Amino acid sequence: MSKHTCTALVISCTDFRFVTMIRDLLVGSGLKDNYDLIATPGASLGLEKIADSISTSIRLHEPENIYIFDHEDCGAYGEDNPREAHMRNLKKAKELLIQNYHNKKVLTYISGFDKIEEIL
């Protein structure tokens, strides 16, 4: 097997309504064909469920940056879907990832229907 690496690992919700918007942002950031993609309902909410997939991506493809995309109106959150819950989970996910992969840069976002906002 040849060695092949990519720049980023992207973690997003499965929700079809945000797929193209997120892809366009990534392509616009110069990441076309240059990111691994893991989709799980709720994105940051489901981080523990995809721990193995994350570690496989990092081991095989050595991405420098990890992007997490939550989105508004997320079914994985059910009725209780406030922005604060996403902010909290994104922060928690970021801390966990940095703890486990301390040389990676973690970027977090919330997608709306009109735009994607970076959460700093």
List interacting residues with Zn ion (CB under 5 A).
Answer: 13, 15, 74, 76
Closer of 73 and 118 to Zn ion (Cβ): 73
Closer of 6 and 89 to Zn ion (Cβ): 89
Closer of 13 and 25 to Zn ion (Cβ): 13
**Cβ pair 90, 70 in contact under 8 A:** yes
Give min distance, CB of 88 to Zn ion, in A.
16
Q: How many CB atoms lie within 10 A of CB 41?
A: 14
Q: Which long-range contacts (CB under 8 A, 24 or more apart) does 56-60 make?
A: 57/9, 58/9, 58/101, 58/104
> What are 9's strand-pairing partners?
36, 66
Give min distance, CB of 12 to Zn ion, in A.
9
Give min distance, CB of 1 to Zn ion, in A.
34
